């Protein structure tokens, strides 16, 4: 039977995740069943998540889809979206599923967000509410935010890591309050080259190491290639293929990864991602097709009617959940160290 998500009450009893573990942490969908599996059920509710990636890897799109699913699964929740890159198109975001009627882009104070201090003050005002309201708070992006010390200096003066120190201090002070205040915080980060590194990680993110410790999910995105289609003898790039690797995970095994196709103006193609993964692990019998049949189905997804697509999505999602759980179970230790 296909697993159907229900509306979430953040204060309700724990649920069983896709790994069969009883957990206190609730999750909500990313918009892609395969990516949900890699994260351990989806984005963690009332926790901190960090999406890191280079340009055109779908960071903002994943945040928008997270907002859409949060709105569906937490009907009484608020969404606060703080966009600092001055490159956000609300109309386009609406076509991708952002519930514009549920989203606030400016603080209640009416003060624009220009610095990391502005964001932290905004969050503290939300935490100071007499009644905790479930809130999804998105920072897009951390790298685009300056700090007041930097804003007050001339271009030839250095601020010597004041932003990193401030972020670390704020999380030390407020991290536990975020969960108690029912705030789900998502931070988008851009990648930076680690200059001079010959071994280990060649990329890093700005803002210091605080998010490495406080985030429940650290999802790194990498660009794999372009998706092209041809219409009337004209070829166009209609999307990109992205590898999503969860390097930090506090609710499921870390270092799980998957490849997802992102279509411009649409979002993550959930069904195609699931079919491609089932083909890669040679488990297409879960959707009643052989490998050739599954590949053929993946190619003609955009030609299916809405009803046929919904039915296909349900079947593929069920198969992905079952196969992923079976694969993970096969990697579990054969015995328990402590009885």
Q: Where are the domains of the chain?
A: 16-150+159-194+203-224+243-259
Q: Could you give the CA distance from residue 121 to residue 113 in angstroms, rounded to a whole number?
A: 10
State residue 113's pLDDT score.
Answer: 84
Per CATH, the number for 16-150+159-194+203-224+243-259 is: 3.40.50.300
Poorest-pLDDT segment among 63-77, 150-164, 268-282: 150-164
pTM > 0.95: no
Q: Could you give the CA distance from residue 278 to residue 273 in angstroms, rounded to a whole number?
A: 9
Residue 105 has pLDDT above 90, yes or no: yes
Residue 301 has pLDDT above 60, yes or no: yes
Q: Could you give the CA distance from residue 46 to residue 137 in angstroms, rounded to a whole number?
A: 10
> What would the mean pLDDT of 49-73 be, rounded to a whole number?
96
The pair of three-digit structure tokens given for residue 37, joined into one six-digit string: 């599996």
Residue 12 has pLDDT above 70, yes or no: no
CA 273 from chain centre, in angstroms, equals 16
The pair of three-digit structure tokens given for residue 41, joined into one six-digit string: 């059920």
% of the chain exceeding 70 in pLDDT: 89
Q: Could you give the CA distance from residue 53 to residue 71 in angstroms, rounded to a whole number?
A: 25
Residue 199 has pLDDT above 70, yes or no: no
Q: Is residue 28 within 8 Å of 9, Cβ to Cβ?
A: no
The region that residue 31 occupies, defined by phi over 0 for left and psi between -120 and 50 for alpha, beta otherwise, is: left
State residue 159's pLDDT score.
Answer: 64
Residue 112 has pLDDT above 50, yes or no: yes
Q: Residue 116's closest CA among 135, 136, 137, 139? A: 139
Buried b (16+ CB within 10 A) or exposed e, 270-288: bbbbbbbbbbeeebbebbe
Q: Which residues pair with 243 in a beta bridge?
A: 222, 259
Task: pLDDT band for 208, please (50, 70, 90 cuts).
Answer: confident
Poorest-pLDDT segment among 98-112, 175-189, 267-281, 300-314: 98-112
Q: Is residue 291 within 8 Å of 121, Cβ to Cβ?
A: no
- pLDDT tens digits for 236-273? 999 999 999 999 999 999 999 999 999 999 999 999 99
State residue 204's pLDDT score.
Answer: 72
Task: pLDDT band for 87, please (50, 70, 90 cuts).
Answer: confident
Give one DSSP letter per residue of 282-330, joined into a string.
T-GGGGT--HHHHHHHHHTGGGS-HHHHHHHHHHHHHHHHHHHHHHHHH
> What would the mean pLDDT of 322-335 be, rounded to a whole number?
94
- pLDDT tens digits for 157-183? 766 678 888 999 999 999 999 999 999
H helix runs in 107-214, sequence order:
116-127, 148-151, 162-180, 210-214
> What would the mean pLDDT of 195-199 be, rounded to a whole number?
62
Q: Report which secondary-structure segment, H or E, holds 272.
A: helix 270-280
Task: pLDDT band for 66, please (50, 70, 90 cuts).
Answer: very high
Q: Could you give the CA distance from residue 241 to residue 224 in angstroms, rounded to a whole number?
A: 5
Residue whose structure tokens are 């289609």: 229
Residue whose structure tokens are 């055109």: 56
Q: Could you give the CA distance from residue 4 to residue 308 in angstroms, rounded to a whole number?
A: 18
Residue whose structure tokens are 């009627």: 101
Coil vs helix vs strand at 115: strand
Q: Is residue 325 within 8 Å of 332, Cβ to Cβ?
A: no
> What would the mean pLDDT of 60-72 be, rounded to a whole number?
97
């Amino acid at each position: 039977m296909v697993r159907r998500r229900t509306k979430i009450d953040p204060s309700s009893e724990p649920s069983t995740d896709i790994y069969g573990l009883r957990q206190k942490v609730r999750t909500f969908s990313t918009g892609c069943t395969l990516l949900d599996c890699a994260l351990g059920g989806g984005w963690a509710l009332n926790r901190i998540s960090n999406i890191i990636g280079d340009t055109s890897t779908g960071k903002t799109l994943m945040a928008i889809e997270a907002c859409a699913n949060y709105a569906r699964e937490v009907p009484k929740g608020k969404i606060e979206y703080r966009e600092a890159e001055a490159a956000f198109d609300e109309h386009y975001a609406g076509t991708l599923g952002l519930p514009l009627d549920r989203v606030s882009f400016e603080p209640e104070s009416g003060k624009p967000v220009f610095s990391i201090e502005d964001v932290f003050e905004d969050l503290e005002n939300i935490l100071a509410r007499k009644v905790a309201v479930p809130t999804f708070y998105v920072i897009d992006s951390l790298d685009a935010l300056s700090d007041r010390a930097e804003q007050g200096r001339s271009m030839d003066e250095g601020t010597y890591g004041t932003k990193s120190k401030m972020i670390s201090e704020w999380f030390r002070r407020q991290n536990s309050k975020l969960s108690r205040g029912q705030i789900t915080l998502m931070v988008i980060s851009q990648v930076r080259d680690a200059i001079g590194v010959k071994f280990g990680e060649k990329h890093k993110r700005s803002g210091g190491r605080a998010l490495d410790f406080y985030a429940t999910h650290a999802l790194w995105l990498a660009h794999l290639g372009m998706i092209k289609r041809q219409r009337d003898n004209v070829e166009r790039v209609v999307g990109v293929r992205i590898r999503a690797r969860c390097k930090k995970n506090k609710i499921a095994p870390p270092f799980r990864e998957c490849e997802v196709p992102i279509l411009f103006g649409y979002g993550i193609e959930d069904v195609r991602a699931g079919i491609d993964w089932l083909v890669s692990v040679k488990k297409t019998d879960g959707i009643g097709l052989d490998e050739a049949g599954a590949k053929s189905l993946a190619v003609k997804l955009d030609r299916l009617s809405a009803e046929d697509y919904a039915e296909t999505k349900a079947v593929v999602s069920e198969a992905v959940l079952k196969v992923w759980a079976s694969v993970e179970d096969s990697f579990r230790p054969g015995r328990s160290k402590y009885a």
